[in-house]
Each structure stands twice: as structure tokens, then as C-alpha cells.
Amino acid sequence: MPGGFIKNAFLERVEQRLESLRRAFKTSTSNTISLGVNSPSLNIDASGQIGLNVATPNTGYIVTFKNNEQIGWQNSSNFLSRTTTRDAGARILKSNDNNFYIDNLDSNTIFRRGGVGASLSNTVFISGSTGFVGFSNNSPEATVHIGSGALLLENNRQIFFKNSTGANRAALSVNTTNFLLLTAPDQLVLRAGSDSSTVEGLRVNTDGKVAIAGGGSNFRALAELHVGGSSMITGTPYRILTPASYAATGTISASDLINGVININSTTTVTLTFPTGTVIDGSLPTDSPVGLSFEVHIVNPGNALHTLSAPASGVTFRPPLATSMTPNSSRIYLFNRTGAAQFDAFLRANT
């Protein structure tokens, strides 16, 4: 009968679906529930542990994923894979190379903590366009950018840099005796200045000698530099300078005076006047202390009698200045700062 044929065909289809369901949904003798056709993809054991494409879930883990499987999220356009015309979603993957990947192919990757909704705080932010990482910073401007807080290292830990050969060299550390160690693979140089221009102030050479720059040619290299005790400096001091040469009557410049060597190169008599205390102060470092001192050597290598003249103010010569300077002679004066724009000039040698 036609009606019986239709009824039988319907029942056959129902039985086929039930058979497919029976094959997909199985309970083993160990009470493991499996779901999937032919090769079950979901297995739930008697303890409630779930295996995804894993026949026997690992003990102690709620969910076990098969290696090289991934969790995927579609993007806003319902795509997961990237093509040349669209972005992709995101995924978490433990690959065959045994690396663990968190991939966001659309935009930024953000780790948050705190409350819910708008009260959540972004603690780690990875830019989708640059790959820069921000800590408490939603707009990192460098590979690592800390927006607030501090970078803390435990005691006896180090910050490393690669040298020109690619070898790792420790640069900054605090050791177990709480010494701060700043190390360079070659010379250690300290510079100061503006954002666009810096000036070298101090250099430590590979032989342990310290070089201190005072501007221009006033550059001193010291064998050793000690703070404390009866002497600040030990070893041999070196100065890289060009002696100032005067061949006509005039005023000695403060920079030449501080630089330390003045030659009077004239076969006829000239008169040289010392700069005032105010002018000398203006050429010394800002906030120079009382007691700051420097030496100047004045040399008359010629055949003429020259004259030295005291300034209008600011310098007191001890003993009083001897104005005449005979041929083939030299003098050494020690200038000592006694106050603002005030100096005592001590005669240390007269040969």
C-alpha cells in the first residue's frame, strides 16, 4: 500500500538516525562517555575529566587537549583564518614544536585584572600593530614600556647588553654586598646635556684610569681618584691642553687662566692684566664651592722684561704681586676661591 510504504520509509530514516546517534554516543565498561562518529572526539571519564580528541583524559586535569589542537575564536566578520582580504580571529595553540601560542590576529592582546566591566585594569597590553608590550600602559611607545610603577630586580641580579660581537655583557647590578656595579665592555662614559645634545663629563678607561672633562681642552686623566682621607687624588695627573700664547698687551682670559699654562711670546715688553674675580667666577662650573682651587703657570721664555698687572677687583695676591717678570723666568700661582667672585692668588714658585 502507498501509505504503508511511506510509513516504512519514515521509520527506516528514524532508525538510521538512531543508529548514527548510538554509534556517536557510547558508554564503555569503564563508564567513559564518548561522543563522535567512528573516532570519538569527546571523551568524559567516570571522574568527569574531559578529553578533546584524547581517548583517555589525563588524571588531575578537567580538560585535556590533544597536542597540536587549538581553541579558535572568529573575528567580528565570523572568520577565523587570515587571507589577503580579511583579518582573522584568535586562537590558543600547543603546537607540534612544543611551543605554546596565544595568537590574536585582529588587534591587541590584553591581560586584565580587577573588578568587572569598566572597572577592569589593563596590566599587560600587547599592541597588535607594533608588537610593543606595555605594563600598566595602553599605548606602548617602545618594545617594553612601563606606564607606572617600578622595575624591580632581586639582589645580585643583573641587566645585560650585547656587545659589538654579540656576546652578553653584564651592565648593571647590585651584588650581595649591596654595591652598585656599572660595567662596560670597553670604556665607561657618562654624558649629560639636553635631549638633542650631550657632553661627555667622565670616562673610565679599560686600565682603570678616570678621565674628567672640564670643557674645551681642559681634560684631566687621573690614575686613581679617591674620595675621603687626606688626599682626594693619588697617582699621576695628566692634562690634555694647548698652552695659551700672548704676544701683545692685554687681559688674560679666564679660560686661559683656568686652563693653566700661559706663554708670553714677545721680544718686546708687554703688559698682561689678570681677569677680575667676577670674570673668573663666570668661567668656573656653576655652584663652585668655596675652596675650589686651580694652578696657572706663567712663562716668559723671551729676552724682554714683561709686566704683570692685578685686576681691578676680586683677586688678592699673597704675597703682593711682583709686577716685573724677567726674561727666561716662570711663576706658578694657586688661585683659591674664597667667596662669590673673590679669589686669593698664592705665589707657589718663582724661578
Q: Where are the domains of the chain?
A: 2-66, 72-104, 109-146, 153-184, 188-239, 242-350
329 and 351 in contact (C-beta within 8 Å)? yes
Q: Is residue 122 within 8 Å of 110, Cβ to Cβ? A: yes
Nearest Cα to Cα of residue 126 among 134, 136, 137: 134
Report the pLDDT averaged over residues 109-127: 84
pLDDT in the model for residue 340: 94
pLDDT digits (tens, 9 = 90+) for 307-321: 999 999 999 999 999
List, in sequence order, every residue forming a beta bridge with 204; answer none if it has no partner.
188, 210
Distance CA 267, CA 244 (A): 17
The rounded Cα 338 to chain-centroid distance in angstroms is: 41
pLDDT, tens digit, 9 for 90 and up, residues 30-51: 667 777 766 668 888 888 898 8
Which residues does residue 133 pair with via DSSP β-bridges, in sequence order? 126, 144
Over pLDDT 70: what percentage of the chain?
Answer: 79
What percent of the chain lies above the pLDDT cut of 90? Answer: 33
- d(C-alpha 70, C-alpha 100), whole Å: 10
Q: pTM of the prediction?
A: 0.57
Mean pLDDT of the chain: 83
DSSP string, 202-248: EEE-TTS-EEEE-STT-EEEEEEE--SSS-SEEEEEEEE---EEE-S
Provide Rg for the chain, Cα atoms.
Answer: 42
Tens digits of residue pLDDT in 5-24: 565 666 666 666 666 655 55
On the question of pLDDT at 137 being above 80, the answer is yes
Q: Give the other-Cβ count within 10 Å of 269's Cβ.
A: 13
Question: CA 55, CA 27: separation in Å to the nearest integer?
Answer: 13
Angle at 22 between CA 19 and CA 27, to 5 degrees: 160
Query: How would residue 217 be classed by pLDDT, with cut points 50, 70 and 90?
Result: very low
Residue 11 grid coordinates: 521509520
Length of the chain in terms of residues written: 351
For residues 248, 253, 258, 262, the Cα torsion angle rounded to the nearest 10 degrees is 0
Q: State the pLDDT at residue 226.
A: 43
Give the Cα separation of 287 and 292 in Å (integer): 11
Q: What is the pLDDT of residue 230?
A: 45
Beta bridge partners of 63: 50
- pLDDT computed for residue 27 by the predictor: 58
CATH architecture of 242-350: Sandwich (2.60)
Q: Helix or strand or coil: residue 12?
A: helix
Spatial contact of 270 and 306, defined as CB atoms under 8 Å apart: yes
Q: For 327-351, how does the pLDDT look when each residue is reduced to its tens digit (9 = 90+)?
A: 999 999 999 999 999 999 999 999 8
Residue 210: exposure state from Cβ atoms within 10 A (0-12, 13-18, ≥19) = middle
